[in-house]
Amino acid sequence: MIPLKDRNPSYSIPFVNYALIAANFVVFFYELSLGPRLDAFFETYGLIPSRYFSMVAHHTHPITRYVPFLSSMFIHGGWLHIIGNMWFLFIFGDNVEDRLGHRKYLLFYFLSGLAAGFVQVFSSASSSVPTIGASGAISGVLGAYIVMFPSAKILTLLPIFFFPFIINIPAVLFIGFWFLMQFFSGVQSWGIDTSGGIAWWAHIGGFVAGILMVPIFKRRYVT
């Protein structure tokens, strides 16, 4: 299923969401300029579970230890990777920002990404493969969206037996199905080094964190 747009108007300009999308593309275009140095860039700024635990064991300075949790959110492995992530953020992020407010949305986004990173690290502690991408943070946005706008309609491209159908699907069904796919794929991959595959548990962790944080953010900050 490919979301085309949501039928859920927002009432403010989502400039934080736009800034996040722009920042991801700026980093991606920088990656394209690196050529043979790209792998070293991934190794340095990607989130590597085994390296994290090694730094913990050797009492590495906390800043060095935790920078990859942040930097990895802005790194992508190719055009499909970044376009897919930014398309989901573009469709779903504006309404979440509209509801939470600009500053709180930015904090919410980064906390979702951090939660996703920690879940991924602990689910694949021995992996030496860099985890990269904004999908963990975006999963938190999806978690917030399904809580706040469960009945919003998602205009969706649904290919069935090679025939494309465009239909409206309630957000609770669209995002709910998406999460079930992440969950079952994560269970199947548990304990397996996917050698650069999809970080299913980062998606799961970010999504659950997003759901749990919504009532906290609304209760404290939203009027």
- Indicate the domain borders of the chain: 2-221
pLDDT of amino acid 193: 54
Mean pLDDT of 9-15: 92
Q: Mind listing the pLDDT tens digit for each residue in 97-121?
A: 999 999 999 999 999 999 999 999 9
d(CA 182, CA 204): 7
pLDDT of amino acid 192: 58
168 three-class SS: strand
Residue 52 scores a pLDDT above 80: yes
Residue 49 scores a pLDDT above 70: yes
d(CA 142, CA 159): 22
DSSP string, 45-111: HSB-HHHHHHHHHTT--HHHHHHHHHHGGG--SSHHHHHHHHHHHHHHHHHHHHHH-HHHHHHHHHH
Q: For residue 154, give the nearest of 6, 1, 4, 2 by alpha carbon.
A: 6
Structural class in CATH, domain 2-221 = mainly alpha
Residue 7 sits at φ, ψ, to 5 deg, of -95, 70
Residue 6 scores a pLDDT above 90: yes
Mean pLDDT of 25-52: 94
Element (H, E) at 101: none
Task: Read off the pLDDT band of 62 (50, 70, 90).
Answer: confident
d(CA 181, CA 179): 5
161 three-class SS: coil
Element (H, E) at 214: helix 200-221
